[in-house]
Amino acid sequence: MFVRFEMERFQSIYENEVDFNLSDSGNHPMSINDLLDKDEIEKFLSMEIYYGYTQGDPRLLKVIKDWYPNTNESNILLTNGSAEANFIMAWTLIKPGDEVVLVLPTYMQVPGLAKNFGAEIKTINLKEELDWHLDLNELEELVTPNTKLISICNPNNPTGAVMTDEEMTAIASIARTNNAYIHSDEVYRGSELGGKETRSFIEFYEKTIVCCGLSKSFAHPGLRIGWLVANEELIEEIWAHKDYTSLCASVLSQEIAIKIMEKKTRSQVLSRSSEMLKNNLKLFQSWLDSHTGLFTFVPPQAGGMAFVGYAMNINSMELAHKLRTEQSVLIVPGDCYGMDGYLRFGIGSHADYLSQGLELVSKGIKSIGC
């Protein structure tokens, strides 16, 4: 039976029909005028819209690989968004009957893909009492020589938790002992609120497949630029699968992406993201504090989202629809992660927009007697 991607369908149906969309987990996007100077815009406007390189423009591969120590251009494959990156990774690696270990909660694309490709699924949950970190002893017991793939999201969606170097070293050791691949979704890397950038899993383990892109920390979802980072042999195999999907990414998007991923601009864009999130988290915490005893919350260390437990006698999907229809504000229900009793708020918008959206959530909460 085909597993539907419920969260993406939920968001795609409703996110453009509300006054306040607090379901997005990225940062408010920039404009072309924000990114390109006058000469660059003139060059951009005169570009011919041709098919691009299927692996990715060499200029873009060069600036992407500079974000990953000890890699080169042959370790990178450009995709149409990180969603395509996850898809072709799963299509390449996961065969019927393969054992896949999923670290939950997570962005639910790979769990759905693993089931649709016929994998045998094992799950392990981040623990709120551990500030949304793993019990590494539990993971060690779960992973076996039969495990083909361990799939994680770091920094995590929806909790915003970030693994330490020690945790990544331990997970790499577990994977290496069992000869398993690690899939590491790193689309929130670079948006750390504490200022210390998370290291990529590719630095810790030779059989890592990193998925990343420009939609979240880099605040440019409309470009639809993503990429995979892995060893050269695996990139070649995944590339063969990509020949059956999108062929290549837009040359216009790639031209803008080259500017974004240049070291100076990359630093500016990521600093902007971190600063916005840090300020918005203070605003969000103040809003939570105004609802004493109603929420539980472990503040995120990265990413444009806040994952909140609530003490209300209402299903999370029902609550999300109530807020949508009565207050015209959209948030992601915990049901989308298989975790009723939680809500994911997007905190990456402009502060005034976030504040107004939260006021409407407060009205909705009052209307159900909380």
Tens of pLDDT, residues 26-58: 999 999 999 999 999 999 999 999 999 999 999
Which single residue is written with the structure tokens 């009492």? 129
The pLDDT, as a whole number, for residue 131 is 98
Is the pLDDT score of 195 beyond 90?
Answer: no
The domain locations on the chain are 6-30+266-367, 49-263
Tens of pLDDT, residues 106-154: 999 999 999 999 999 999 999 999 999 999 999 999 999 999 999 999 9
Residue by residue, what is the 3-state secondary structure of 25-80? CCCCCCCHHHHCCHHHHHHHHCCCCCCCCCCCCHHHHHHHHCCCCCCCHHHEEEEE
SS3 state of residue 227: strand
Tens of pLDDT, residues 50-109: 999 999 999 999 999 999 999 999 999 999 999 999 999 999 999 999 999 999 999 999
Q: Which residues pair with 114 in a beta bridge?
A: none
CA distances, 289 to each of 294, 296, 297, 303 (Å): 9, 10, 10, 21
The pLDDT, as a whole number, for residue 205 is 98
CA triple 269-274-279, angle to 5 deg: 130
For 49-263, CATH gives: 3.40.640.10
The pLDDT, as a whole number, for residue 228 is 98
Rounded CA-CA distance 157/143 in Å is: 22
Contact indicator for 124, 103 with CB cutoff of 8 Å: yes
Tens of pLDDT, residues 321-356: 999 999 999 999 999 999 999 999 999 999 999 999
Nearest to 57 by CA among 257, 205, 206: 257
Is the pLDDT score of 369 beyond 80?
Answer: no
Tokens matching residue 251: 């040359």
| Ordered alpha helix ranges (H), the chain | 6-14, 32-35, 38-45, 58-65, 81-93, 109-116, 136-142, 165-177, 232-242, 251-261, 263-289, 316-327, 351-367
Is the pLDDT score of 296 beyond 70?
Answer: yes
CATH architecture entry for 6-30+266-367: Alpha-Beta Complex (3.90)
Residue 17 CB neighbour total at 10 angstroms? 10
Contact indicator for 171, 203 with CB cutoff of 8 Å: no
The pLDDT, as a whole number, for residue 280 is 97
Residue 328 has phi, psi (to 5 degrees) of: 60, 45
The answer to whether the Cα torsion of 237, 204, 212, 123 is positive or negative is: positive
The pLDDT, as a whole number, for residue 370 is 60
The pLDDT, as a whole number, for residue 278 is 96
The DSSP code sequence of 139-186 is: HHHH--TTEEEEEEESS-TTT-----HHHHHHHHHHHHHTT-EEEEE-
- Contact residues for 215 (Cβ-Cβ < 8 A; gap 6+): 26, 81, 82, 187, 221, 223, 224, 226
* Average of per-residue pLDDT across 297-316: 97
The pLDDT, as a whole number, for residue 368 is 83
The yes-or-no answer to whether 6-30+266-367 and 49-263 have a common fold is no
Tens of pLDDT, residues 204-261: 999 999 999 999 999 999 999 999 999 999 999 999 999 999 999 999 999 999 999 9
pLDDT-based confidence at residue 1 (cuts at 50, 70, 90) = confident
CA triple 109-300-225, angle to 5 deg: 40
Mean pLDDT estimate for the chain:
97
Nearest to 89 by CA among 221, 189, 213: 213
DSSP code for 312? -
The pLDDT, as a whole number, for residue 241 is 98
